[in-house]
Homo-oligomer: A and B are copies of this chain.
Amino acid sequence: MAKKNQDFVTHIANIEEDFPQWYTDVVLQSEMVDYGPVKGTMVIRPYGYAIWENMQAELDARIKETGHHNAYFPMLIPESFLKKEAEHVEGFAPEVAWVTKGGLEDLAEPLAIRPTSETIICDMYAKWVQSYRDLPLLVNQWCNVMRWEKSTRPFLRTSEFLWQEGHTVHATEEEAQEETIKMLGVYREFAQNVLAMPMYTGRKTEKEKFAGAVATYTIEAMMKDGKALQSGTSHNLGQHFAKAFGITYQSKEGREEYVWQTSWGVSTRLIGALVMVHGDQRGLVLPPKVAPIQVVIVPVAAHKEGVIEKCEEVCAALKAAGIRVKLDDRDTVSPGWKFNEWELKGVPVRLEIGPRDMENGVAMAMRRDTLEKQTLPLEGIVDACAELLAVIHTGMYEKAQAFRQAHEYDALTVEEMEKHFDEDKGYVRAMWCGDRECEDKIKEMTGATSRCMPFEQEPISDKCVCCGKPAKKTVLWARAY
């Protein structure tokens, strides 16, 4: 038995010593993802894709509950469209992939593979929106997008990724702003209640906002190495695209008015966030709500009478209750092998059932998040598992939140900021005068970028951390992925 356990070899770098390598090892060895043949692309393998499907189901329900409908817009965007909004093209042109040949012919105009779909959607909206009765127009799409990136990493930054992008049209500025904030709230709630991840929320600075937006709002997470990951954004587009694409409506009073717009999105990057917020030295630790397998049952001494039957019975009962369960009845590997493999894959609960457990009317349950073992009575095992999954979710969220709190700092000087980042990374709260020059200088000196101006503006001083002039904003800064 011991020998067989040793056969299950993983080469996972030490999470404390080499976090980036630990991440790569875990996502590859858990079989979530693989490198695609074209540089910068990834293959989302079934285990990773099942997590994405669970995320999609939860988020899609929230998007629909808030009145949005899904649609699908073409992937190829004429070059001329991208150029219509000046800031937008400036921001995205350097990372666009271009189609220049169709079949055997050269195209008259190059076509961009969508890096995001504002332009092509606005072109359609200009046709669809006529009257105030057509508003609000609340549309979302799930699709692939492409951004030609120099340095890539599975889930976090790849040339092609999957996402959803909401695109809404409103009659008034107030309504558009309300929508922008509402959808950021949906993301925050989703992150908390489904992914067990606490998020900082706030507004991006001008420097960091979306190319073409009036204002960008963001949810920002803290990874286990203290670095930040932008996890979702919601943009108030004002009338920038409406004017560029001529989207107008006739108001109740019969006037021709430009519309107000928003867009918002989250992507497969969230899978990377999950790994880096919850993972540990043994591999993935998946939040129960998105885990492809929530409970794995491992028979112990499976050859003994009744063991497999009891495992099958428990498996069927859990399945009937809607719990995603797997009975690992392979006879080619030892229980120890199975323990290692399912720990690597982050399954929230492992149930071990053997002859002695059966005699005692219990199963041994191990929580992946704490690695703690406990016995659960076989009588009522379904309710016990459901409860344990809920407890694990809460535990994971609280753990992530405690970690975050332990790595938050206030700083009154750039030197202090630098010291925090060098010693511990994490997030640093510091005051800012609002000038781009100071923002650039802070980045240059500390390697940190402004993550957001949090909604709760709690000033810690009245002076800019950089130039000492009167501060206008409280800003969260961090080194980021």
Q: Which residues of A contact B (CB under 8 A)?
A: 34, 36-38, 41-46, 49-50, 52-53, 69-78, 81, 94-104, 110-111, 113, 120, 123-124, 127-128, 133, 139, 143-144, 146, 148, 159-160, 162, 332
Contacts and interface: CB of A to CB of B under 8 A. Distances in A.
Given A43-B71, A133-B332, 4 more contacts: A36-B124, A37-B81, A72-B162, A75-B144
B99 A103 contact: no
Contact of A98 (B44, B77, B101, B120): B101
A50 B143 CA distance: 15
B99 A71 contact: no
A148 B37 CA distance: 23
A100 B98 contact: yes
B96 A38 contact: no
8 contacts: A37-B81, A37-B123, A38-B77, A49-B71, A74-B160, A97-B99, A98-B101, A100-B100
Contacts of A95: 103
A305 to B, nearest CB: 27
Contacts of A37: 74, 78, 81, 120, 123
Contacts of A100: 98-101
Contacts of A42: 74
Contacts of A75: 144, 146, 160
A49 B76 contact: no
B102 A97 contact: yes
Contacts of A159: 76, 102
Contact of A94 (B52, B103, B123): B103
A148 B103 contact: yes
Most chain B CB within 10 A, of A38, A81, A96, is at A38
Instruction: List 3 tightest A-B contacts by C-beta distance, closest first.
Output: A46-B69, A41-B74, A98-B101
A336 to B, nearest CB: 18
Given A99-B113, A110-B101, A332-B133, A124 B34 contact: yes
A139 B46 contact: yes
Contact of A43 (B46, B124, B332): B124
Contacts of A111: 38
Contacts of A139: 46
Contact of A50 (B41, B69, B103): B69
Contact of A99 (B53, B70, B98, B332): B98
Most chain B CB within 10 A, of A104, A139, A162, is at A104
Contacts of A102: 97-98, 148, 159
A341 to B, nearest CB: 13
Contacts of A123: 37
B76 A160 contact: yes
A267 to B, nearest CB: 12
A73 B71 CA distance: 22
Nearest to A34: B124
B143 A36 contact: no
A272 to B, nearest CB: 15
A273 to B, nearest CB: 18
A129 to B, nearest CB: 13
A64 to B, nearest CB: 10
B70 A46 contact: yes
B97 A71 contact: no
A49 B142 CA distance: 11
Contacts of A76: 38, 41, 97, 159-160
Given A97-B101, A103-B95, A133-B332, A78 B46 contact: no
A97 B111 CA distance: 10
A73 B159 CA distance: 13
A50 B127 CA distance: 21
Given A94-B104, A95-B103, A100-B100, A74 B36 contact: yes
A143 B44 CA distance: 13
A53 B36 contact: no
A248 B36 CA distance: 20
Contacts of A44: 71-72
B43 A70 contact: no
Contacts of A127: 34
